[in-house]
Structure 1
């Protein structure tokens, strides 16, 4: 039953009539039940997706302000609005199906947990501010573009003198009932067999009181209006507007899919099963494509209703069948009874449904302790979403997150490894006194990929740790030319061999490979032998193509660090025996 109220409430965010929220709470649910892999996921309307779609609808079909329009004109505007919203749904579904064909489910990984949580939390502020005008009974235009929160707040403050007291009272009463009841449901969720259905109770009471007292006529409050019984006739969306919708639909599609998959993965991990991200693309793609023919706006997984579904014991996709049956009964028989439901009640339900998103601020102290960089990603994304808009804020968050990854790889550490006594274990010597460096051998481990962005850091790290500079390279070359033999005393006296542990180098690009080969060459010219260990096949292939084997022999590449060290020790021992002088 909560899905009914939330569906009608989120239709207001989409700037369409509440009845279309009921349609969106039915058709996508049935289709996802057939094709989806998330057993606990409840699909349908979602506040963030509705808000983003509403911005598109408002930009293409703005509602005339400051002028009287007839009922016929109002109906025509409503028809155009749902046609645009359905076109967004169709295009979103087709994009998801195309992504499924291309097996692009992996793209959801670019939205990390800090980005998703900060984005949804920031979008919750947009939703709350957008509902203030309805809760106060103000007839204000809906703003689009940059800084919509500040534009909306400014418009509300300027119009506060026109507040409808009746709708303000309705909003205050609703919030004073919804907030404590939601808190009770949360605190005593284990003791309550089913959560208190406060939304449907509030809707029924408000509708009954509004009908009995004719609040819409007496106090000019906004009501839901006519909700036709039955199903809508299938019809094509506004296909002609699709070219103008492409760039606005892409973030809607990406966010809807990412939130749905993230939610499905959370519950799959909790209940010990797996989902298929690419199959989820197909499921949501089909859901949106087909439901667009029945005047639905874009759908995705819903945080609030998914939590309710799991608390009620739902554990398979068939649970969607029962929720759909309830919506079906309302569509066929009960829908017209909601005619007198005040829109202020739906606005309050909208705001309260975002409770979990606002509570995500509680994760910040723990995130600060775990990773300050992830904390910065969260804060930057949230600030960008709130101050700019949802789409640009998401883009800023993704770019900043990727830049943070680049920064982390640039500042990667190059560790000096030592060997634990009488073992084959090699660990950094800095914090472990039991691991000691081997005389004459320097073992280095670089814990990052080597690419154009960090190659200079890699070079400086090796130069510093090996004491390698141009003078020593030239000195090594001169001593090797002296009498055609190598003078050991004139080599880099403390380091005869370098072992580079490449286990942390997961990839290397062309620029990094050229530098790597150059560093190996400089070490060899300086009289220091270079050995590689634990190179993966991809890294070794690129190094080989970059000319590594022109300076190193295959015998200098080993599977493990210990194999390389053992070979070096045997070589040094054999060399010492050959150079030894026996006096008779």
Structure 2
């Protein structure tokens, strides 16, 4: 076994003042707003090239494209992904309350622009069930299935399906505007507020909504779409009311499809290392279902709902409805946020796996332009789906050429092969949607995992999931954000403060509760707060300080009362010295005032009369470890100043260590220091402060080593007790011998 490495350092004990005196600091001149503008507007060839590569990432990766190594994999991957994208587009269009053919539009148009603007090389852009459901909620609200549409001028002369398409495309257009605006304003950081836990709880709730919404297709029931809080409960109620009207053909076909697709998907996952490409079971089952439905005429013989007339080719672009903008702005913004958060998280996973970088702001621009462009051609909200992206990556896709090929396949079906899908039962599409929910529904297992490891995170997951299930996805997202922010506030408002002690023979300091052998000089306390100090936790900070040391105000009141009693008794010998300050009256002495305002100085360690009781103060030095304090606000500065002065006026030396340079600068700027709170109280490290304290208060017998184990403290007592008993017994034995 190798000998542990060691290091020895010999240097002066530094305070912040002495360190600044020995080591000159570089004086930085902060840039003005004009300097930033000039730097931003400066242009040269290098900046121009960087701008082009940033706005058009395709230029970067196309120059390094390896045709012989990557092209075949991209082609195979594009075909495999295209089959999945076509089936998912058809299925997810039901979630958006749109005719299935418009799902093919979403598999084509957004991918065209992302090919040029996106920074991820592996994600498959297209429909995503959560976004489809969120868009479908707006469509159902403005164009309900069992009632008149909203009073919107743009709806005049349009069929119900055309009205729904207009609403979906307008919401998608507005979603794209939000994403593009955030990308241009460089606010891609906003996605960090959607933690993985929140997104997991939200998508799980969305999976429950999707599952319930597809039951009517699987059972063949005519259940109108319901939107708003508790919509999932009302939908289940309507389904159970009509459960006796279930179409057996739809139900049997759906169960068979789900079982087969589930088994094959599991085999794909288990043998993915041996399979060149995953088996496109969704496409296979769709083709079989189309053939069986057409051959046995399911529509007329068994009253099965089918896809019906497919739009052949592409229609001319349409303009979005400004009236729909006004009606759906509140819903469109969370759709934009969720769509980007999901796409960015998936893109980040594969960028790390394949060692390349992605740009969050450029991704916002890419998805914004893609959704605006797609909405102009009647597609609905686009993002990415993890299952589809996994197919693209695992089947050999290296770049977005695979995505472009998958879009071409969607175009081929739309232009030439769409009529073949007309006999497809909608129950088959519903079954495919439900099977693809497996990954999201399995996230329920995270509850137990989070509860064991991080209970606040578990609260975020459960709160987000329940909020989204009961209140709807838009309000549920707001609830999740609120719960998440509350947990952050709770952690910072009530941090786990600790009292530190020295590990003997080292310059390391740890929580004294966690170690057996620690060194803690008598009269010295080291207090650590592991969070920022601000208006919400400054009182908590002061309460914890009192628990560590003592309550200065309480001791001060006791001393004031004792002084009055001593003065009445005429015990002048207890006073150390008189002051030149004027005397104060009884009312003033009752207040928690400054000891400097009292008429005498007292030696409180002297022997006091038995009827006078004053709390004994054993603390002479208090060290505050600010190594984990990232900022202080004005309220915290005021509270900290008051707390420090209370201890200082009780003759307790206070030191602050490991304070960040920016906090020190703020203390100077806010006039924190005065004749009592000095800059000499600040030390760069905890060990420097401890050595200074030990040098100021010479170590003697009062220094103690705390051993948190019975055999070092109690064993000594036991040893002396046994020794005393043995000694007494020997004396008794000798005495009896002399008597006998």
TM-score, normalised relative to structure 2: 0.73
* Structure 1 match to 2:683: 558
Q: 1:329 to 1:307 in 2, by over 3 A?
A: same
Shift of 1:489: 4.5
C-alpha distance in 1 between matches for 2:179 and 2:280: 34
- The answer to whether residue 497 in structure 2 is matched with residue 414 in structure 1 is yes
Q: In the TM superposition, what whole-angstrom CA distance separates every residue of 1:139-168 from its partner, at most 9, and x where no partner exists?
A: 221001111111111111111232223222
- The answer to whether residue 107 in structure 2 is matched with residue 25 in structure 1 is yes
- The answer to whether residue 329 in structure 2 is matched with residue 267 in structure 1 is no
Q: 1:492 to 1:526 in 2, by over 3 A?
A: farther
* Structure 1 match to 2:658: 534
- The answer to whether residue 117 in structure 2 is matched with residue 35 in structure 1 is yes
Shift of 1:474: 5.7
SS at match of 1:549: coil
SS at match of 1:87: helix
Is this contact kept in 2: 1:288–1:298, CA < 8 A?
A: yes
C-alpha distance in 2 between matches for 1:65 and 1:285: 33
Cα RMSD for the two superposed structures: 2.5
Q: In the TM superposition, what whole-angstrom CA distance separates every residue of 1:411-453 from its partner, at most 9, and x where no partner exists?
A: 2122111122232222221112333223432221111111222
Q: 1:330 to 1:522 in 2, by over 3 A?
A: same
Shift of 1:475: 7.2
Is this contact kept in 2: 1:386–1:393, CA < 8 A?
A: yes
Matches within 5 A, 1:96-107: 96-107=179-190
* Structure 2 match to 1:515: 639
* Structure 1 match to 2:403: 320
Q: In the TM superposition, what whole-angstrom CA distance separates every residue of 1:474-526 from its partner, at most 9, and x where no partner exists?
A: 67898999446895957975322221111111222222221111101111111
Q: 1:562 to 1:492 in 2, by over 3 A?
A: farther
Is this contact kept in 1: 2:171–2:324, CA < 8 A?
A: no
Matches within 5 A, 1:345-494: 345-473=428-556, 482-483=577-578, 489=605, 493-494=617-618
Is this contact kept in 1: 2:460–2:484, CA < 8 A?
A: yes
C-alpha distance in 2 between matches for 1:75 and 1:337: 27
C-alpha distance in 2 between matches for 1:224 and 1:207: 10
Is this contact kept in 1: 2:550–2:617, CA < 8 A?
A: no
Shift of 1:376: 2.1
* Structure 1 match to 2:419: 336
Q: In the TM superposition, what whole-angstrom CA distance separates every residue of 1:208-232 from its partner, at most 9, and x where no partner exists?
A: 2222222223322211122233233
Is this contact kept in 2: 1:111–1:398, CA < 8 A?
A: yes
C-alpha distance in 2 between matches for 1:422 and 1:160: 76
SS at match of 1:416: strand
SS at match of 1:530: strand
- The answer to whether residue 208 in structure 2 is matched with residue 84 in structure 1 is no
* Gaps in structure 2 of 5+ consecutive residues: 1-82, 149-155, 564-573, 580-600, 607-614, 700-740
SS at match of 1:208: helix
Shift of 1:384: 1.9
* Structure 1 match to 2:259: 176
Matches within 5 A, 1:206-221: 206-221=289-304
Q: 1:64 to 1:366 in 2, by over 3 A?
A: closer
SS at match of 2:620: strand
Q: Which of the numbers 290, 294, 313 marks the counterpart of 2:377? A: 294
Q: 1:482 to 1:313 in 2, by over 3 A?
A: farther
Is this contact kept in 2: 1:473–1:523, CA < 8 A?
A: no
- The answer to whether residue 130 in structure 2 is matched with residue 56 in structure 1 is no
Q: In the TM superposition, what whole-angstrom CA distance separates every residue of 1:388-432 from its partner, at most 9, and x where no partner exists?
A: 211222221221121112222232122111122232222221112
C-alpha distance in 1 between matches for 2:698 and 2:142: 81
SS at match of 2:622: strand
Which one has a bigger Cα radius of gyration? Answer: 2
Select between 163-172 and 254-263 the one with higher mean Cα deviation.
Answer: 163-172
* Structure 2 match to 1:244: 327
C-alpha distance in 2 between matches for 1:476 and 1:191: 83
C-alpha distance in 2 between matches for 1:74 and 1:148: 30
- The answer to whether residue 193 in structure 2 is matched with residue 120 in structure 1 is no
Q: In the TM superposition, what whole-angstrom CA distance separates every residue of 1:461-481 from its partner, at most 9, and x where no partner exists?
A: 001101133143467898999
C-alpha distance in 2 between matches for 1:198 and 1:161: 32
TM-score, normalised relative to structure 1: 0.92
C-alpha distance in 1 between matches for 2:324 and 2:462: 36
SS at match of 1:532: strand
* Gaps in structure 1 of 5+ consecutive residues: 67-72, 575-584
Is this contact kept in 2: 1:492–1:528, CA < 8 A?
A: no
C-alpha distance in 1 between matches for 2:218 and 2:386: 23
* Structure 1 match to 2:92: 10
Is this contact kept in 2: 1:513–1:542, CA < 8 A?
A: no
